[in-house]
Structure 1
Amino acid sequence: MTVAFEQLYETREYFVGKWNRYAPQPLKTAARNVQYNVGTLIKKFRKIWKKTIWPYLEPLFGVPKGGAAQKRKDAQEARDRKARSTSGGSERRRRNTEYRDDIEDEH
């Protein structure tokens, strides 16, 4: 399977190289415009799908009942791990004063 994908990539690179070298400039510009316009349409469709279509289909095909609760639980655990990994919590010290003893002595 990997060999097939590599061959496809090589073939694509070959044709892109030929296209860039020999295609007339107006056609290359038109191809870039088409690519940009199709990308914009895909972005708009994804937004419409997420905001309007998927909420109606989610109860039929969506995640299991406990999926949202598990997602919140995992997010909370990640926040807790992050808070534990940073020493001092919300209190931050500058890196250059981390190993200086005279900082605590002055206060």
Structure 2
Amino acid sequence: MRQILGPNLPKFTEGEKKLLKNQIDFIGVNHYQTFYVKDCIYSPCDMDAYPSEALVSISTERNGIPIGKPTPVANTYAVPSSMEKLVMYLNQRYKNIPLYIT
């Protein structure tokens, strides 16, 4: 990861690492939109118009098919299953740490 992010990735002292290790009290989630995401490190892809340190490409459609039902907001689609999938993933990945959805 340091090779990819370089100086943008913070460095922690051994003491800070010890304080932070396994210290998640809760997870807070704000979920507004759902996208298809493609890795741009190991997969060939065009970077988005708004490049970020994530090195991914995002899209609201795949093979010309929208990710969900269109909404009145441009490039925003309703994908009801995405919240359930996110909650299930977080519960599995972080072993039932309290989750607050705002």
| TM-score using structure 1 length | 0.24
Structure with more of its chain in helix, by fraction: 1
Which structure's residues are more often strand, by fraction? 2
Structure number with higher relative contact order (C-alpha < 8 Å, ≥ 6 residues apart): 2
